[in-house]
Amino acid sequence: MKRHLYFYLLSIVSLVFSSCGDDEGPTSPAGEYASGVFVVNEGNFGGGNASISHFDLENGTVSKGMFSSVNGGALGDVAQSMSLSGEEAYIILNNSTKVEIVNYGTFESTGTITDGLANPRYLAVDGDRAFISNWGNFDENFQLDQSFIGVVDLADNSLSTKINTNDGVEHIFIFEGKLFVANSFTNTVQAFDMDSYELLGTTELAQSPGQFAVDADENLWVISQGNFAGNDGALTCINTTNFSIERRVNLGLNPANKLVPNDASNLLYFYQGNTIYQFSSRGTDPSILAEMTDFVGIYGIGYHEDDELIYVSDAVGFGGEGKVVRLTVDGVEVDEFGAGIGPNSFVFTP
Amino acid sequence: MRRLVSTVLLSLCAMAAVAQTDTLVLDDVTILGQKWTSYATGIKVTRLDPDSATASQSLADLLQSSALAYLKTYGNGQLSTLNIRGTGASQNSIFWNGINSNITSLGLSDFSLTPMALVDDVSLQYGAGSSLLGSDVIGGSVHLAVTPRQTSELALALTQGSFGLWGGRAKARYYGRKWSAATRVLYQTSENDFPYQNIAAVGNPNEKMDHAAFEQWGLSQDVWYEINTRHQISAHLWYQSMDRQIQPGLNTSQRDNQDDQTMRALIQWSADYGDHNGTLKVAQLQDRIDFNGDVSVMPRTYLSYEYEYVGSDNWSLRGGVNWQVLSADIDAYETDISENRQDLFVSLGWYPMPKLNLSANLRQSLVEGFDPSLTPSLGWRYLASSWLTWTGNLSRSYRVPTLNDRYWRPGGNLDLRPESGYHAETGVEITRSKLKHQLSIYYGDVSEWIVWLPQEGYWAPENIDEVEIFGVEYESAWKVTKQLKVNASYAYNRSIRTAGATDSFEGKQLPYVPIHQIKSSLTYQQHWWSIGGDGQWTSQRFTNADNSGSLDPFFMVGLHASAQAGSAWSFSIRANNLTNQDYQLVLNRPMPGRNYQITIQHNFDFN
């Protein structure tokens, strides 16, 4: 506990110092939650108990279920992801087929996107447009009808265009003026033009690609889960000009579809089961960073530049409230705080 | 605690003021044609009387109003599973004419699928019964049958109810010297567009359910033929179907449809030579589930023979074997599954003295790769005096992993072990002329409890939990006058996880197992009319393993009345949830407020 306290104090100190110099970037909102770490708690499927919780880095307090307490009513069912843009947070409620928009400083609701959505997954904002990946609907043989990126005009939250993709479009990433999408039911990543929405290229890589990350050398990486029980997951570096494969690192395992970068050390983090791996994009093979032995299973991972800590969450089998553990980049546990049901990802305020 | 006591007292008073429905019979229950009941010494079995007022209801409704058990119900007329004696949905079974009828893929029964109109004999066995009944019977079992009666009748009934419910049923019986037969038919449909308050939406608006409609068919046909005084052959057929919109959770966009169809056929041959008897059963059962157009079919072939030797006045021996072939054609399995299971069992009943009945049972189940351990039980029943009986039972229990547990892709785990339990219970029965009390105390420890946990993008089952169960049940039946009957019961149940997936689950009550339950009923019957009512109070239920979420306690009252006009016509009316309680039995699934059903029945008399 003492050790935890020490790291905790250290992190506050470093935060105070780092926040002095870093005052550029977009305006942040005012309010209680304007600064800190949001945890996306997807909730039990059908339980309607998705929530967002907030961890205050300065005093270590955790606020839970702000959407309900501020707005009344429940947030929705299965919070798949959350993205920040300007003063807004966009929360995708997969099984409510909607996106709740809140001012992330106060968590007051400022709008809802429902138009044209079908199994929405992730969202990226560019100016006054939001790109939302949608799996589309399943038919009776559990085959997807048509996956697409919904382009939403944020002025009136209406869907203006549907960009058809390959099956199971999941993570989306705007990079070098292009829209990269990972089609998780396939072995493809597609790149689209941001204005004409034309397909620029398709990269074939290991099965079931997930999250994108950019390393310190400005290379675009994507993690693939591989085939079920095939132990053939991979990290793939994509050439963002001709969409060929720059480099492929076979992992020999089936990782989760999450990948987060640590710019300072040029590392990428991912996990499988209770094991956290790190991969240096300048190195060769990934190595084990830490084993979360008392976890039921890691369900989300994040790296926060400000406190230089790794955040991992345990959904405790969705049997109750999850927890978050913070680790140093050396894999040493710093502290732990409570989350809601099914914490799946972290969003750090700018 | 004081608040709890006052609530309990209040509800008891309220219940005394109201009337009731279902009569609980606290006799030493022997289920006709089910020899195992004579060897279930020290095991609590109660008979639930499905009467005319419950005929338009489901087995789930009947159990919810009158049994000491919790029905985990996902909305009105929706999936309803049983939590009995602190165990989970898979740890009990419906037995149809003595055959385990759990859906083999899921290893559980949906109690809302069984219409009460198709049966006239419903018994509930509490606690572990694996030594007598095989796999799944860790928490209890429900036994359904139509019994032969020496009467002929034909009755047609029409029912109309709230939220667009209407339906009809026919009941026919023929009794002859050699042949007897009974036929039951039911059709029922409902828009089920009940109003509810959407507590999940901003401003908690009142809304109408728009996706919970259902249409239900049912048929049961029973034929008995007396070959001679010693031999009887009977044939039994059952068909039920329920095509329904799945009531979505609040704030979800799910719009699923499911059509469940169950077909059961049995031929049974019984021979009785006084000091020895035997029963042969050949049956074919099939469940078919169509979920959004994706069809799963699960046939089961069943063959059993059991033989009983009645040695003298004070002992008897029973032994038998059953053989089942479980098949499944399910898209999520890699191949079609066909699996053999055999059970060998032997029972000894002994009266070492007239007032003491002992029984010992032993069962070995053989399942390829999943052999549960030898399962014994030992029970006693001692008549301490003319009004006091002491009973007890020690037993083991088991549950073979379901087909989904093993073959579902992704996740199915072939390395699972059967769940395994140790149980002890003891009880006293006090009979004072018109008042009967039954008190039971039970303890159990179930290990290797199977739980599905998330992996990388899918879920997989593991033998992970251990649960310690302790409880007290009290039931009483009071025949106040010839016309007036009162039942009252209370259950206290602690089901504590002693080992689980993570520390925060340990020492916690299992979800959806209420710690307190009170159920009571009252009926007043005159020769041409009757009224009745039932009241129940259920304590808070946790909705997750770490007990961080819960559903509020609820109190519910129902009323019913019926009247006969001559022998040909009868009318009945039933009101449910009279106090218009807003309650949920499963998180995020609203249940309807006050609702009514009216039934008109025409009887043709042939006697």
Are B504 and A320 a contacting pair, CB within 8 Å?
A: yes
Q: Say how far apart CA B294 and CA A273 lie, in whole Å.
A: 31
Q: Provide the pLDDT confidence category of residue B49 given band limits of 50, 70 and 90.
A: confident
Per DSSP bridges, beta strands B92-96 and B140-145 are parallel
HEC string for B538-566:
ECCEECCCCCCCEECCEEEEEEEEEEEEC
pLDDT of residue B605: 76
pLDDT of residue B54: 64
Is residue B116 scored above 70 in pLDDT? yes
Is residue B186 scored above 60 in pLDDT? yes
A280 or A8: which leads in pLDDT: A280
Are B156 and B166 a contacting pair, CB within 8 Å?
A: no
Six-digit token string for B484: 């007036």
3-state SS of chain B: helix, strand, coil percent to 5? Answer: 10, 60, 35
Closest CA to B64 of B437, B586, B585: B585
State the pTM of this model: 0.90
Q: Do B547 and A273 touch (CB under 8 A)?
A: no
3-state class (DSSP) for residue B494:
strand
Mean pLDDT of B94-106: 96
Are B425 and B392 a contacting pair, CB within 8 Å?
A: yes
HEC string for B142-176:
EEEECCCCCCCEEEEEEEEEHHHEEEEEEEEEEEC
Q: Do B549 and A255 touch (CB under 8 A)?
A: no
Contacts of B5 (CB under 8 A, 6+ apart): none
pLDDT of residue B455: 84
- Region at A243 (left for phi over 0; alpha for psi -120 to 50; beta for the rest): left
The distance from CA B336 to its chain's CA centroid, rounded to whole angstroms, is 30
* Residues in A touching B252 (Cβ below 8 Å): 46, 48, 76-77, 95-96
Is residue B365 scored above 50 in pLDDT? yes
* Percentage of the residues of chain B whose pLDDT score is greater than 70: 93
HEC string for chain A:
CHHHHHHHHHHHHHHHHHHHHCCCCCCCCCCCCCCCEEEEECCCCCCCCCEEEEECCCCCCEECCHHHHHHCCCCCCCEEEEEEECCEEEEEEHHHCEEEEEECCCCCEEEEECCCCCCEEEEEEECCEEEEEECCCECCCCCECCCEEEEEECCCCEEEEEEECCCCEEEEEEECCEEEEEECCCCEEEEEECCCCCEEEEEECCCCEEEEEECCCCCEEEEECCCCCCCCCEEEEECCCCCCEEEEEECCCCCCCCCEEEHHHCEEEEEECCEEEEEECCCCCCEEEEECCCCCCEEEEEEECCCCEEEEEECHHHCCEEEEEEECCCCCEEEEEEEEECEEEEEECC
Q: Provide the pLDDT confidence category of residue A13 given band limits of 50, 70 and 90.
A: very low
Size of the A and B interface in Cβ pairs below 8 Å: 128
A143 touching chain B per CB within 8 A: no
pLDDT of residue B201: 85
Tell me how crowded residue B307 is: count the other CB atoms within 10 A of its CB: 16
Six-digit token string for A324: 């978050």
Q: Say how far apart CA A88 and CA A108 lie, in whole Å.
A: 10
Strand partners, B39: none
Tell me how crowded residue B198 is: count the other CB atoms within 10 A of its CB: 17
* Residues in A touching B545 (Cβ below 8 Å): 316-317, 319-320
Q: Provide the pLDDT confidence category of residue A15 given band limits of 50, 70 and 90.
A: very low
Average pLDDT, chain B: 91
Report pLDDT digits (tens) over B411-427. Answer: 999 999 999 999 999 99
Is residue B56 scored above 90 in pLDDT? no
Is residue A21 scored above 50 in pLDDT? no
Is residue B36 scored above 60 in pLDDT? yes
Mean pLDDT of A327-342: 97
Q: Do A141 and B505 touch (CB under 8 A)?
A: no
Q: Say how far apart CA B222 and CA B235 lie, in whole Å.
A: 6
Are A76 and A49 a contacting pair, CB within 8 Å?
A: no
* Residues in A touching B503 (Cβ below 8 Å): 294
Q: Do B546 and A320 touch (CB under 8 A)?
A: yes
Q: Do B456 and A254 touch (CB under 8 A)?
A: yes
Mean pLDDT of A32-46: 96
Is residue B3 scored above 60 in pLDDT? no
Stretch 203-242 of chain A: residues touching chain B, C-beta under 8 Å: 208, 225, 228-229
Cα dist from B8 to B15, B338, B551, whole Å: 10, 51, 18
pLDDT of residue B203: 83
Q: Provide the pLDDT confidence category of residue B24 given band limits of 50, 70 and 90.
A: very low
Q: Do B546 and A49 touch (CB under 8 A)?
A: no
Six-digit token string for A123: 């969202």
* Percentage of the residues of chain A whose pLDDT score is greater than 90: 86
Q: How many residues does chain A have?
A: 350
* Percentage of the residues of chain B whose pLDDT score is greater than 90: 84
The distance from CA B408 to its chain's CA centroid, rounded to whole angstroms, is 26
Are B360 and B396 a contacting pair, CB within 8 Å?
A: no
Is residue A5 scored above 90 in pLDDT? no
Report pLDDT digits (tens) over B507-552. Answer: 999 999 999 999 999 999 998 999 999 999 999 999 999 999 999 9
Starting at the edge strand that comes first in sequence, how are the strands of the sheet with A220-224 ordered? Answer: A209-214, A220-224, A234-238, A245-250
Is residue B17 scored above 60 in pLDDT? no
Q: Which of B409, B454, B457 sits opposite A317 (nearest CB)?
A: B454
Upstream peptide bond of B410 is cis (omega within 30 degrees of 0)? yes
Q: Provide the pLDDT confidence category of residue B256 given band limits of 50, 70 and 90.
A: very high
Is residue A12 scored above 60 in pLDDT? no
Helix ranges restricted to H, B67-109: none
Are B491 and B516 a contacting pair, CB within 8 Å?
A: yes
Mean pLDDT of A153-173: 96
Q: Do B202 and A73 touch (CB under 8 A)?
A: yes
Report pLDDT digits (tens) over A64-100. Answer: 999 999 999 899 999 999 999 999 999 999 999 999 9
Q: How many residues does chain B have?
A: 607
- Type of residue at B188: Q
- Type of residue at B561: A
User: Which helix (H) or strand (E) element contains residue B12?
Assistant: helix B2-17
The distance from CA B515 to its chain's CA centroid, rounded to whole angstroms, is 19
Six-digit token string for B558: 């129902």
Average pLDDT, chain A: 91
Is residue A52 scored above 70 in pLDDT? yes
Sequential DSSP letters for B312-357: ETTEEEEEEEEEEEEEEB-TTSSS-EEEEEEEEEEEEEEEEETTEE
Radius of gyration (Cα) for chain A, nearest Å? 19
Q: What is the ipTM of this complex?
A: 0.86
Of all residues in chain A, the one with the smallest CA distance to B293 is A140
| Chain A: closest CA distance from residue B515 (Å) | 19
* Residues in B touching A232 (Cβ below 8 Å): none
Cα dist from B238 to B232, B386, B586, whole Å: 20, 42, 29
Cα dist from B95 to A39, B6, B33, B36, B101, whole Å: 47, 39, 13, 12, 6
Closest CA to B102 of B316, B262, B226: B262
Mean pLDDT of B291-315: 94
Q: Do A109 and B202 touch (CB under 8 A)?
A: yes
Cα dist from A43 to A138, A344, B73, B410, B544, whole Å: 22, 9, 20, 22, 11
CA angle B271, B275, B277 (to 5 degrees): 25
Phi, psi of B477 (to 5 degrees): -130, 130
Contacts of A281 (CB under 8 A, 6+ apart): A215, A216, A217, A219, A221, A237, A266, A267, A268
Six-digit token string for B71: 């029905």
Of all residues in chain B, the one with the smallest CA distance to A253 is B456
Mean pLDDT of B273-295: 95
Is residue A229 scored above 90 in pLDDT? no
Closest CA to B8 of B588, B539, B576: B539
A61-87 b/e (C-beta count within 10 Å ≥ 16 → b): ebbbbbbbebbebbbbbbbbbbbbbeb
The distance from CA B174 to its chain's CA centroid, rounded to whole angstroms, is 28
pLDDT of residue B15: 33
Residue given tokens 């010992």 in the structure block: B360
Q: Provide the pLDDT confidence category of residue B567 given band limits of 50, 70 and 90.
A: confident
